[in-house]
A and B are shown apart, each in its own frame.
Chain A
């Protein structure tokens, strides 16, 4: 199986996923309507109550909302894959002389597009409600790049989870129970130093905070800050583990 075929097959899968989106646009609600709602709710509801020194709350908040949305969109790959696994098409793919992993690369690449769409929408809505990314263009591009890398890594975690868990419904519950607390016990919406000490200790060290801090530093101040390197390492590390694990679990699931 050579690389050219793998790329062609992956693209074939991306096109298939894009047709799905075109025929059922509601598949995009989680990366369009939900992020808009989050930006508006948090900036309007909490904006007046939460005071962060030296920075406007909406500008502070945006990095948190970005990364939260990216994390959910990334891990949501699991639900989309689990949906696919419940239908007959995967059986057809298994019997074809195609690159089998392209089903997964096609899925995660499509979800990268979804993540980019979400970030773009949030960026525009953020600008309307007071987000001021004064870090400059290059730093903003770097911040978006980091978020997409993080999201792509989580997509592969989603591949592993989607291959492991039997139904999309069960996954929804697990995602909510795991990802939701992680976004709140982070620097997404408040400063971690105001949390109870033990919780703050955890929040400062978990990858969501690292990615959020790096994105915040880049967008607002134009510099990577101390969190950038750990954030990149966490993302790459997650990818290096989740990519082969996802392939293996998917393969195991579909050859039973």
Chain B
């Protein structure tokens, strides 16, 4: 199970003066989920379009399921399924008609396409809407049907371009279940996302990309370690005790403590769990600090991205003063 199902080496692609891909390397092993993480404009969609044979790279080399994407695009297309941010569906056709047509165009025999379409509709909980035109579907239903269309030929490799962008939390959760299920079934998945939580939760392996190249690579855990180890975080009840709390934590942990006035949280890097927690509680109590919450926290992928690129992955939300 170590066969590389997706492999890209040194991909370059420019649109005019914009270098969408600037030497991108990617690879994904059979049956795993590769999360391609990056902000808008990092080159995620361009990478997917090259790997799915929609556009040709200016330079570099890529294979999918062992087949060169520029030399034999038709053979690649019969082995991949694609679903994206903009559901590629026919609005006037019903859910079933969409799936069956795509199946037949994949060269799946018509009766088999019909069977599989019915099974996918069932599995993706679209039964009630199967015979309604897609234009009556909600966003979440469209995404599920779109994923169904990508799966109708049962391809070994699936590309998902921002599969949950724009979905409500419920839609996102159901999409996550479906994606996780695919990899369990042996399908190789490349998924782009700007949601760190999504990559953290689903991907076996994450490639962080920015300006068209990979700037970090590894499992979510490895990426987090790259930024720094765990921190002990203490939330205190009274703002007046922030200073003693900071002194206590600095005596226990490594380096300076970080103080967040707004949330009354004080944190410090720690090397190991050991007796740190009980010692911290004891000493904080002795210093007269009332603790609301205490625990270890590993850095989030947001922090990983910030430390790698010097800027947050997502546009910061409007701050209410």
Contact = CB atoms under 8 A, between A and B. Distances in A.
Interface of A: 1, 5, 9, 12, 16, 19-20, 23-24, 87-98, 255-256
Given A12-B104, A19-B97, A97 B54 contact: no
A90 B86 CA distance: 12
A92 B93 CA distance: 14
B149 A92 contact: yes
8 contacts: A1-B74, A16-B90, A88-B89, A89-B90, A91-B88, A92-B89, A97-B78, A256-B55
Interface in B71-104: 74-75, 77-78, 80, 82, 84, 86-93, 97, 101-102, 104
A96 B55 contact: no
Interface string B27-38: 000000000000
B107 interface: yes
Given A1-B74, A9-B105, A95-B54, A19 B93 contact: yes
A20 B92 contact: yes
B171 interface: no
B106 interface: yes
B312 interface: no
B52 interface: yes
A2 to B, nearest CB: 12
A93 B88 CA distance: 9
Contacts of A87: 90-91
Nearest to B53: A95
A92 B88 contact: yes
Given A12-B105, A91-B54, A91-B84, A97 B90 contact: no
A254 to B, nearest CB: 8
A105 B93 CA distance: 20
Given A91-B84, A255-B54, A96 B105 contact: yes
Contacts of B104: 12
Interface in B50-78: 52-56, 74-75, 77-78
A20 B86 CA distance: 20
Given A23-B92, A96-B102, A97-B78, 7 more contacts: A12-B104, A12-B105, A88-B88, A91-B84, A92-B89, A95-B88, A97-B105
A93 B82 CA distance: 10
Contact of B82 (A16, A20, A24, A92): A92
A160 B233 CA distance: 64
A97 B92 contact: no
B133 interface: yes
Contact of A23 (B53, B102, B133): B133
Contact of B55 (A12, A23, A255): A255
Contacts of B74: 1, 97
